[in-house]
Structure 1
Amino acid sequence: MTTSIALFTRDLRVHDNPVLHAAAAADRCIPLFVLDDAIVSSAFFNANRAAFLSDCLADLDRSLRECGGKLVVRKGKLVDEVARIVRAHDVTEIHVAADVSRYARRREEALEALGVDLHVHDASINAVPPLSLTPSGGGDHFAVFTPYFRKWETVHRRGVLRAPRRLTVPEISGEQPCRLHDGTPSPDLASGGETVGRRLMVNWVRTGVDDYADLHDALADDATSHLSPHLHFGTVSVTELLDRAGTASEGARAYTRQLAWRDFHHQVLAARPESATRDYRTRNDRWRRSDRDFAAWRDGRTGYPVVDAAMRQLVREGWMHNRARLIAASFLCKTLYLDWRLGAQHFVDLLVDCDLANNQMNWQWVAGTGTDTRPNRVHNPLAQAHRYDPDGTYVKRYLPELAAVDPRHVHEPWTLPDEERKALDYPPPVVDLREAAARFAAARSRKA
């Protein structure tokens, strides 16, 4: 009799799950999730992700019970908990999804040392395995997105897998921990779980994706899929999402390109794991240090409404619009000239969808220390605001102190008449944009 473990990590779903699909072929299957001490004790585990994860685990357990199984949840050192189940139930094989972080690689090595057949499934978290594509001219990864995307588009992806119809799980104890985190999640945090994720996916493909190319940057319209947390926790399969979205419309093709960015960043981090904390391409920056300026950015009090609205959205929802992320990040790194790592860590502290590869590499892209081929570009917050939130609807949604301001002044409230300006509970700009641009240009032109 064969007994397998389906070790869930960032693939908390029953549909299109190569790990569960393969493990279910054994005579007995133990669906297992370990609330890993190494992750729970890290700065990466915040209250928002803990709340979302709790939803995901509860939903996954319900789905497994519908096919005769259940989710076994343990808390502790991951490999120790797996080893206990291996010994207690004569486990013959372990199935787990491949991942790109240094920790994931060490986890695989430790699981291999248990002496049980270990099967690492490459196409569970990504559409294309991270290091399966390499440049024709040599090198272990693509450092520029466009040639990567051209090759990515030609790869034959695996088919979408069905959810298991029936599981046989041995008698085993393992209740879900009652509380995953002591912090308080964002008040408007979205719900987690595969059921919610699949509903979002179906609705997005049916009613949203075709307009993505035209509307994805419009801040007030909020016309994005909101699937990033579900992709991070794996409650939605990127393979199935790509299959459903297709490429028939311009919007679907634009959305596919964005999903390819996710795989691109994963292959960069897989090849250069140190870039999680170190510049991928150094610009010899001597970043400023200013607690005052960082606090103004973090708290949404910079005096630039579109930046502040973005930062308030992050606190309220544990999420931020994709265009707003670009604006806020550029303001920190290039307008305030503060270290990208400060911003990356703040996003780690609050974002529910904070994927290590995408968070760090996107921050580096904006800072000009990553893969951007135009490392010195600056996204002017006023130009961005007038273009992507022309009537101030997005700003007013998150800055109630500006709700009554005329749309002509909402992005530049310092242009209001003195009496109106003084009546607002809103700060003046923390920096002059022209002075900031000159400071950044001088810093980047300076010789090391």
Structure 2
Amino acid sequence: MSVSVVLFTADLRLYDHPPLRAALEGRRQVVPLFVRDQAVAAAGFAVPNRLAFLADCLRDLDSGLRERGGHLVVRSGDVVEEVCKTAAEADADEVHMSADASAYAHARERRLRRALEAEGRRLYVHDAVTTAVGPGTVTPASSDHFAVFTPYFRQWSGQRLRDVLTAPRVVRVPSGVGSEELPSRASVPGVSPGLAEGGERAARERLTAWFRSGLAAYQDRHDDLAGDATSRLSPHLHFGTLSPVEVVHRARGAGGPGAEAFVRQVAWRDFHRQVLAARPAAAHADYRTKHDRWRSERTARDDIEAWRQGRTGYPAVDAAMRQLLHEGWMHNRARLLTASFLAKTLYVDWRIGARHFLELLVDGDLANNQLNWQWVAGTGTDTRPNRVLNPVTQARRHDPDGAYVRRWVPELREVAGAAVHEPWKLRGADRERVEAYPDPIVDLADGLARFKRARNRA
């Protein structure tokens, strides 16, 4: 019986997995392989929250494979070297994997293809596994990618998505292929205490529950900070424990304004991937420079640290940053608010904020994170690059009675109603009760004026 290797990357699932289905064609034996990539650790991306969530995902994937007669093979080191070693041990003639968008992923694919071909083996790379629509599938007439979301979304929406694949019933793994011990969450230090559970089972349970009780209201409630009415599926999409193709099919099947708004968010994820695939430097350089002279880590040290710890004196900003510290996750509206505060109100280099998010976010996705930060900073694809989100206005609009703030900022729990958003205005005994909470680190008017001067708009 012929043998294939399936290299799992950001697709840690059994349902709707085209590389796995292709590898099993013709009743082949399959080596399901995951390589703990030393280059990811060397680049600083192997952070506690994602390592812990990954451990959950790998254990769940192994469990699902064992239910089908197989098991997961785990190796550590250079991906190309480990795949070639595994293929040689199993006498496999082909390797299947999912396409990805980053410059590193493209370089890894080229290296792997050359190495396998030198040994007489073939590499098959499958699109639309980690995205609903693959990067480069839709392009404008005059460019290799869309730089504005709305026209991209129109073409994206017109694409016929591939059919959803069922999970295999049987996975036969050849004997004699060694594996390292599976990692465990318990062995990872520094994990956020409120980090969610990883793995395909948890993902599918959350998807089903949210489609049943949250999807219909998503259009009206997705910006409700206290209501926590978003899907919280982003970590599962990041690790591939859910298929974006399946998610879009199911949402469209449900129909309605909530489903349409949710599908639009999935399209934003694909949009950022096609931007990054076409412009890899956008991961670290301005996509559209405004020639900013940002405040640096050295010149804005105290302000940056106050922002990181949730001690800026602006309750909505601080609540969001404390949620990030506790859960390794943050509400999407809060991400926009906190990013705008750092990049525009404090005028700190967006890369500093993006790096902090990647150090903590369980869904810390290079394309989404970097390009959303650039969107907010006005150096990315935003068609209104000089917009500034006022944290007080945003708080009043999206947390009108202050419940989100009181949940995450215990110093302010005794402040009733919307007054919680401006504690510096409290007087007398009310102000004394919240004296442990800091005063604002910057006047909003001063921050806005500084930003306008920097952008030559004063």
Q: TM-score, normalised by structure 2?
A: 0.95
Distance in 1 of aligned mates of 2:307 and 2:263 = 32
Q: Which residue of 2 aligns with 1:267?
A: 274
Q: Which residue of 1 aligns with 2:285?
A: 278
CA contact (8 A) 1:297 1:308 kept: yes
Distance in 2 of aligned mates of 1:213 and 1:342 = 32
CA contact (8 A) 2:58 2:182 kept: no
Q: Which residue of 1 aligns with 2:166?
A: 162
Q: Which residue of 1 aligns with 2:181?
A: 176
Residue 211 of structure 1, aligned match among 217, 235, 250: 217
1:419 offset after TM fit, Å?
3.7
Q: Which residue of 2 aligns with 1:428?
A: 439
Helix, strand or coil: the match of 2:313? coil
Helix, strand or coil: the match of 2:136? coil
Helix, strand or coil: the match of 1:74? strand
Distance in 1 of aligned mates of 2:183 and 2:446 = 52
- Range moving further from structure 2, 150-159 or 438-447: 438-447
1:182 offset after TM fit, Å?
4.7
Counterparts of 1:248-259 in structure 2 under 5 Å?
248-259=255-266
1:409 offset after TM fit, Å?
1.7
- Range moving further from structure 2, 297-306 or 165-174: 165-174
CA contact (8 A) 1:100 1:270 kept: yes
Residue 450 of structure 2, aligned match among 435, 439, 444: 439
CA contact (8 A) 2:14 2:61 kept: yes
Correspondence 1:118 to 2:123: yes
Residue 340 of structure 2, aligned match among 330, 333, 337: 330
Deviations 1:248-269 (A, max 9, x none): 2001001110110000000000
Distance in 1 of aligned mates of 2:113 and 2:183 = 31
Q: Compared with structure 1, are the counterparts of its residues 57 and 182 closer, same or farther at alpha carbon in structure 2 (3 Å cutoff)?
A: closer
Q: Which residue of 2 aligns with 1:90?
A: 91
Q: Which amino acid aligns with 1:308?
A: D
- Range moving further from structure 2, 339-348 or 286-295: 286-295
Q: Which residue of 1 aligns with 2:133?
A: 128
Distance in 1 of aligned mates of 2:104 and 2:184 = 24
Helix, strand or coil: the match of 1:445? coil
Distance in 1 of aligned mates of 2:169 and 2:404 = 45
Gaps of 5+ in 2: none
Residue 143 of structure 2, aligned match among 125, 139, 142: 139
1:446 offset after TM fit, Å?
6.5
Q: Which residue of 2 aligns with 1:12?
A: 12
1:40 offset after TM fit, Å?
2.4
Correspondence 1:243 to 2:249: yes
Q: Which residue of 2 aligns with 1:306?
A: 316
Gaps of 5+ in 1: none
Distance in 2 of aligned mates of 1:214 and 1:339 = 33
Deviations 1:321-364 (A, max 9, x none): 00000100000011001000000000000000011000000000
Q: Which amino acid aligns with 2:167?
A: A
Q: Which residue of 1 aligns with 2:157?
A: 153
Helix, strand or coil: the match of 2:419? coil
Distance in 2 of aligned mates of 1:49 and 1:359 = 14
Q: Which residue of 2 aligns with 1:69?
A: 70
Correspondence 1:221 to 2:227: yes
Report the RMSD for the aligned CA atoms in angstroms. 1.3
Q: Which amino acid aligns with 2:61?
A: L
Q: Which amino acid aligns with 2:236?
A: H
CA contact (8 A) 2:51 2:188 kept: no
Distance in 2 of aligned mates of 1:100 and 1:346 = 22
Residue 296 of structure 1, aligned match among 291, 301, 306: 306
Q: TM-score, normalised by structure 1?
A: 0.97
Runs of 4+ in 1 over 4 A off after TM superposition: 179-182
1:75 offset after TM fit, Å?
1.1
Q: Which residue of 1 aligns with 2:378?
A: 368
1:177 offset after TM fit, Å?
4.2
Distance in 1 of aligned mates of 2:418 and 2:289 = 40
1:165 offset after TM fit, Å?
1.2
Residue 195 of structure 1, aligned match among 196, 201, 205: 201
Distance in 1 of aligned mates of 2:291 and 2:457 = 9
Distance in 2 of aligned mates of 1:85 and 1:281 = 43
